[in-house]
Amino acid sequence: MRYAVLYSSGTGNTEQVARSIYAALPAGEARLEAVGPDTAAPVEEVLFLGFWTDKGVCPPDMQDLFAKLSGKQVVLFGTAGFGGSQAYFDAILQRTAALLPAGNTVLGGWMCQGKMPAAVRTRYEAMAAQNPGDSKAASFLANFDHALSHPDQADLAAAAAFASEMAAKVEG
Ligand SMILES: Cc1cc2nc3c(=O)[nH]c(=O)nc-3n(C[C@H](O)[C@H](O)[C@H](O)COP(=O)(O)O)c2cc1C
């Protein structure tokens, strides 16, 4: 097995992307696994590591896995509640890549927006109600509603295309 797709997903968005990436990799050369506290260091040479965004970076379970990696070729992918700009995604990818131990090589990174739980909208609604002129609350609400349909079919197709591109890079 050459590739492992390992992902951390609390509410399913990143899992959807991970499945799309897995399906795009060469048949019989990849495996898919959800990361947990006891995930062992993978033996595959190329790792697609998927994460949900937790306060601007990958979550602790993924960081724990990172600590076990050395000499790997790594492709990062993720989902984030805010998705307004590529620069925002790039900053998350950069902060996440910086957590990988030296000696691992990052081949590329890709992210898309992912829906958030209804409780988050309720919090934004309370913000807006408390301060009706608050443009921040209004933009949070607009972003929440925009995120609701993501990852969508276009996101999943883009994730698959990205995976194929990364595999082609590896296969040389
Ligand atoms: C505790 C917590 C912290 C979060 N922090 C961020 C954040 O800093 N930036 C962001 O864009 N989204 C943030 N989100 C939103 C999630 O990253 C987003 O909804 C993601 O798609 C969830 O993926 P999952 O369904 O695979 O768990 C946060 C969500 C939770 C629950």
ipTM score for this prediction: 0.99
Q: What is the CA radius of gyration of the chain?
A: 17
Q: Which atom of ligand 1 lies nearest, measured to the CA of 17?
A: 26
Q: Which atom of ligand 1 lies nearest, measured to the CA of 7?
A: 26
- Paired tokens of 13: 């968005």
pLDDT of residue 134: 87
Region 86-108: mean pLDDT is 98
Q: Confidence band (pLDDT; 50, 70, 90) for 32?
A: very high
Residue 12 CA neighbour count, 13 Å, CB half: 7
Domain 3-115+151-171 sits in CATH 3.20.20.140:
no
pLDDT digits (tens, 9 = 90+) for 65-79: 999 999 999 999 999
Maximum separation of any 2 CA atoms in the chain, in Å: 57
Domains of the chain, residue spans: 3-115+151-171, 116-149
Per this entry, what is the length of the chain? 172
pLDDT of residue 12: 98
- Paired tokens of 95: 């902060």
> By the 8 A CB rule, do 47 and 80 touch?
no
pLDDT of residue 53: 98
Q: Is 56 in the pocket of ligand 1 (CB under 6 A)?
A: yes
Q: Is the pLDDT of residue 84 over 90?
A: no
pLDDT of residue 132: 87
60 preceded by a cis bond (ω within 30 of 0): no
Residue (of 41, 2, 36, 6) closest to 21 by Cα position: 6
> What percentage of the chain exceeds 90 in pLDDT?
94
pTM greater than 0.90 (yes/no): yes
Element (H, E) at 6: strand 3-7
Q: Is 50 in the pocket of ligand 1 (CB under 6 A)?
A: no
Average pLDDT over the chain reads 96
Q: Confidence band (pLDDT; 50, 70, 90) for 104?
A: very high
CA of 52 to the centre of ligand 1 (A): 6
Q: What is the spatial distance between Cα 8 and Cα 1, in angstroms, rounded to a whole number?
A: 21
Q: Is the pLDDT of residue 38 over 90?
A: no
- Tell me the DSSP string of 37-93: TTPPPP--SEEEEEEE-BTTB--HHHHHHHTT--S-EEEEEEEES--S-HHHHHHHH
Q: Whose CA is nearest to atom 21 of ligand 1?
A: 114
- Paired tokens of 90: 């790039």
Q: What is the spatial distance between Cα 30 and Cα 41, in angstroms, rounded to a whole number?
A: 16
Q: Is 35 in the pocket of ligand 1 (CB under 6 A)?
A: no
Q: Is 57 in the pocket of ligand 1 (CB under 6 A)?
A: no
CA of 1 to the centre of ligand 1 (A): 31
Q: Is the pLDDT of residue 172 over 80?
A: no
Q: Confidence band (pLDDT; 50, 70, 90) for 145?
A: very high
